[in-house]
């Protein structure tokens, strides 16, 4: 990719994150929420990867960090759910709502209004957890897919994901992404018979 593209991607990256985070945090007030906001943030990550702004060097680190985010989000989500059991009565119970605390505990104001941020109890917390999880999860998927295209020769990945039994021929291995796409297109051409 050209340098212009990667510069612009770098400029757009913080905006993607902020916009995604906005959607996540307003999930209990407006359409959107954890999944959508997380997906927007992950779009930013996709942009950085495709434009080459992240380079090949830090790829392993990005993968690890994305995995960490994924775990963090999932644990946060299930922890809030278990919180219902600990602080309230039931699994997934909204134990924060309408408690009067300013930490998302205020009552919802009925009628048309702009929406009060600090309402809805555990919903924003869950949205945040899901947002982090989806951001991490989609980034993991993107990293993994990118990795399969980029270094598909020899033993890939330094991680412990099971790979092929060693030393066997790999017809499609080791090709850069353009060639793989060309291979797919080529088969498409013969698809009609």
Partner 1 sequence: MTTELLTNAPYIAAGVLMLVGLAVIFYRRNLIRMLMGCSLVESAVNLFLVAMGYRHDAAAPIYTNAEAGAKMVLPTVQALTLTAIVIGLATSAMMLAFVIVIHRHYGTLDINEVRRLRE
Partner 2 sequence: MSTPLPINACFIPPLLVGFPLLGAFLLPLAVKVARPLRTALFLFVTAVTSGLALWLAWVVLANGGAPVSYLFGAAKGAALAVPAADGEMPIRILFHIDAASALMLGVTALTSLAAALVAVCSEAGATGKRFFYPLFLLLVGGVYGMCLTGDLFNFFVFLEITSLSGSALAAYRIDRGLAAEAGLKYACVSSLAGLSFLLGTGILLAQHNLLNMAAIAAHFAGAGLTRLDLVALALLVAPLLLKCGAVPMHHWTPDTYSRAPHPVSAFLLVSSQASLYGLFRVVFTIYGGAEGFPARTLGLALLAVAVLSMFIGVTMALLQHDVKRLIAHHAVSQTGYMILGAATCLFVLPGAAQVADFGRDALAGSFFHMMNYALYNGLLFVGAGAVIYRTGRRNLDAMGGLARAMPWTAVCFGVGALAIAGIPPLSGFASKWVLYESSFRLSPFLALVAMVVSLLTLASFVKVFQSMFLGPEKAGFAEVRDVPMPWGVAMVFLAVLTLLIGLFPGVVMDRVLLPAADALLHPSAYCAIFEPGVP
Name the residues that contact partner 2, by CB under 8 A.
67, 71, 74-75, 78, 81-82, 84-85, 88-94, 159-165, 168
Q: Which is nearer to partner 1, 100 or 193 (CB)?
A: 193
Closest CA to 139 of 16, 26, 33: 16
- Per-position DSSP letters for 67-119, written without gaps between them: HHHHHHHHHHHHHHHHHHHHHSSSTT---STTS--TTT-BPPPPSS----TTB
Residues in contact with 111: Cβ distance below 8 Å, sequence separation at least 6, in sequence order: none
Q: Do 108 and 29 meet the contact criterion of CB atoms below 8 Å apart?
A: no
Which region holds residue 25: left if phi is over 0, alpha if psi is between -120 and 50, else beta? alpha
| 114 contributes a contact to partner 1 by CB under 8 A | yes
Q: Which is nearer to partner 2, 64 or 118 (CB)?
A: 64
| Residue that has been written with the tokens 């030393």 in this structure | 167
Q: Which is nearer to partner 1, 6 or 137 (CB)?
A: 137
| 170 contributes a contact to partner 1 by CB under 8 A | yes
- Tokens representing residue 157 in the block: 């990945």
Q: Which is nearer to partner 2, 16 or 69 (CB)?
A: 69
| 112 contributes a contact to partner 1 by CB under 8 A | yes
From 55, 115, 154, 176, residue interacting with partner 1 (rule: CB under 8 A): 115
- Please report, as residue ranges, which positions from 11 to 30 form the binding site for partner 1 (by CB under 8 A): 29-30
- What residues make contact with partner 1 under the rule CB under 8 A? 29-31, 35, 108-115, 141, 144-145, 148, 152, 164, 170-173, 180, 183-184, 187-188, 191
């Amino acid at each position: 990719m050209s340098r212009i593209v990667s510069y612009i991607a770098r400029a757009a990256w913080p905006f993607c994150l902020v916009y995604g985070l906005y959607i996540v945090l307003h999930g209990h007030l407006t359409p959107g929420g954890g999944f959508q906001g997380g997906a927007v943030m992950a779009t930013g990550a996709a942009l950085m990867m495709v434009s080459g702004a992240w380079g090949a060097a830090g790829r392993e680190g990005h993968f690890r960090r994305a995995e960490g985010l994924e775990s963090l989000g999932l644990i946060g989500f299930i922890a809030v759910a278990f919180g219902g059991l600990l602080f309230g009565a039931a699994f997934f119970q909204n134990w924060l709502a309408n408690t009067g605390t300013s930490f998302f505990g205020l009552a919802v104001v009925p009628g048309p209004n702009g929406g009060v941020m600090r309402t809805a109890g555990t919903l924003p917390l869950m949205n945040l957890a899901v947002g982090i999880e989806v951001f991490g999860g989609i980034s993991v998927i993107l990293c993994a897919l990118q990795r399969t295209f980029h270094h598909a020769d020899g033993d890939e990945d330094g991680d412990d994901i099971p790979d092929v039994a060693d030393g066997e021929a790999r017809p499609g291995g080791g090709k850069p992404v353009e060639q793989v796409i060309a291979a797919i297109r080529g088969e498409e051409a013969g698809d009609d018979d």
